Amino acid sequence: MNPIKVRKRPVVVEAWQAIGIREMERIVKWINSNGGDAKYRPPVNFGPAIDIQTLEGTMTADIFDWVIKGIAGEFYPVKPEIFQKTYETL
């Protein structure tokens, strides 16, 4: 069998950009109050970050990354350049 061409179905998801420490703290609350598991990591040696438990294990959202709530209620980070290529605002 040979590969076929397919198109990803358009779905609407929620997204929130981590544009600063205050927003990162609010994103953690949003994740945790919606069935996810996240922890804010304050800046020590590096910038602030959010550790998010995903289906693939712990992933990190850094400053300016986007956090997506997927169609199954899962949360995961997306780098800004990937977000720009993949998503559009409604």
- Res 55 pLDDT > 90: no
Three-class secondary structure of residue 41 per DSSP: strand
In the β-sheet with 49-54, what is the strand arrangement from edge to edge? Answer: 38-41, 49-54, 57-62
pTM: 0.88
Q: Domain residues of the chain, as ranges?
A: 14-86
User: How far apart are alpha carbons 71 and 74 in whole angstroms?
Assistant: 7
Lowest average pLDDT, out of 18-22, 34-38, 41-45, 65-69, goes to 41-45
Q: Tell me: the pLDDT tens digits for 30-45?
A: 999 999 999 999 988 8
- Res 12 pLDDT > 90: yes
